[in-house]
Structure 1
């Protein structure tokens, strides 16, 4: 059974950290999902490029529900997601890694739940700690072993995209306590919690956000920074996989919907 999944964000499309790679497809109520599966450190791992293998899916059209449903159906219990982000915090500079621990949701047109009434009913999931503390600690420990500098806390502001933000928006987000801005972590983190899967995000700062950066923002700049740090993020993911304990965790993620009878496929 596959218990670990990597969701690769912008610039993280290569599943070749795995051995015996195969491509699979799973049907879900929200559409089919293609992903790669293989083995690393003796553990079965699924690799899912969030934007498609050629970055062909914009952030507002990603089928987040299908992706998380498919991983749950596979038996995945731990998800490490990577995201490329702009920084609102001067201390979080391009090239830095950040283990985000909170988010602000400024998306507009995305369905962020598996429970829209009807047969599935309605749930109100607790997001006091939106990212699994145990999995975050595992990634932090991996960074320490590799001597990679990583910020232990950060507030991720999720916008709708695909456009970049205006300087006025960035100024507002910073005043609200945001550290980073990206376009994909919501509803992904929310759906993972509803599906009772441990989920952690490793954000890579690719640039300073609009109004902070001295130049116009480009997608090419994002890709260049990701490429320059590709080896570091690959090693961080690999070491994290090695350290993940597959025995039941005491983080509470697997019981997030206990009062509703648990998550059901």
Structure 2
């Protein structure tokens, strides 16, 4: 990121986005986390694609399992969806502005709805690897925020109840839970996982909450979906590995394709 004001930089990126992808504006944005990128092709007609790193303020993703492209699709409802196949994580040390730059860019390009996804550890033994779970609420344990100064944003309904209900018209089996973001990049200890559970958490990971805060500041309605890629530390009988996250995403690809395709037809 540059020293330019983050919101001005997002505006410049939005101008480049609509110009390079030859679209008038963006209606819907999707941020695809670990295990999700390969499922995007069911969203609709591909209108264009470009490397994220070619847009102002973006960098190439550094995490295996994340794509590095921005794609535009025409959804079945005739809307334009921008799909970010990678994201910047807070643990990369680039600051919160870099983490939420994609969300702010989408908002500046006209988006009113955000679908934010991630791969995560699950605390519920009934949610095996490959289970998508709607995010009902979150706990931000990073100690950080993308907001500056007296910017008081109401997060009573950070994740839209209306959109969760719409998602269940696509897949009635979707459960929901509370997502807990730790800073990372190390995985959580068993004690930290127990703490998350005591605080009311059902899912643990290293993304999403800062993006949701920025989205709500920008007035976007947010649908959050976690893909449980493994049982969390202390619940899982084996040590945690990132390769397990990628493998779970690949195994879940048919279900995720169906879910994203169905969402694109109702959002």
Q: Identify the match of residue 260 of structure 2 among 237, 247, 258.
A: 237
Q: Identify the match of residue 71 of structure 1 among 106, 110, 119.
A: 106
* Correspondences of 1:1-265 after superposition (within 5 Å): 1-14=25-38, 15-17=40-42, 18-23=45-50, 26-27=55-56, 31-32=57-58, 35-41=70-76, 42-51=78-87, 57-61=88-92, 63-108=98-143, 110-113=144-147, 116-117=148-149, 122-144=150-172, 149-151=173-175, 153-244=176-267
How far 1:59 moved relative to its partner? 4.6
**RMSD over aligned Cα atoms:** 1.9
Q: Distance in 2 between matches of 1:234 and 1:73?
A: 27
Q: Distance in 1 between matches of 2:260 and 2:100?
A: 23
Give the TM-score normalised by the residue count of structure 1.
Answer: 0.78
How far 1:172 moved relative to its partner? 1.1
How far 1:102 moved relative to its partner? 1.0
Where in structure 1 are there 5+ consecutive unaligned residues? Answer: 52-56, 245-265
Three-state SS of the structure 2 residue aligned to 1:207 is strand
- CA distance 1:210–1:32, change in 2 (3 Å): closer
Task: State the Cα deviation string for residues 96-136 of structure 1 (Å, max 9, x = none).
Answer: 2211111111114x4421xx23xxxx221111111012222
Check conservation: 2:117, 2:208, Cα contact below 8 A: no
How far 1:206 moved relative to its partner? 0.9
Check conservation: 1:99, 1:150, Cα contact below 8 A: yes
How far 1:78 moved relative to its partner? 0.9
How far 1:26 moved relative to its partner? 4.7
Where in structure 2 are there 5+ consecutive unaligned residues? Answer: 1-24, 60-68
Give the TM-score normalised by the residue count of structure 2.
Answer: 0.78
Check conservation: 2:181, 2:205, Cα contact below 8 A: yes
Task: State the Cα deviation string for residues 7-46 of structure 1 (Å, max 9, x = none).
Answer: 100122245334222327554xxx2476221223132110
Q: Distance in 2 between matches of 1:101 and 1:238?
A: 21
- Answer with 33-42 or 124-133: which moved more: 33-42
Three-state SS of the structure 2 residue aligned to 1:161 is coil
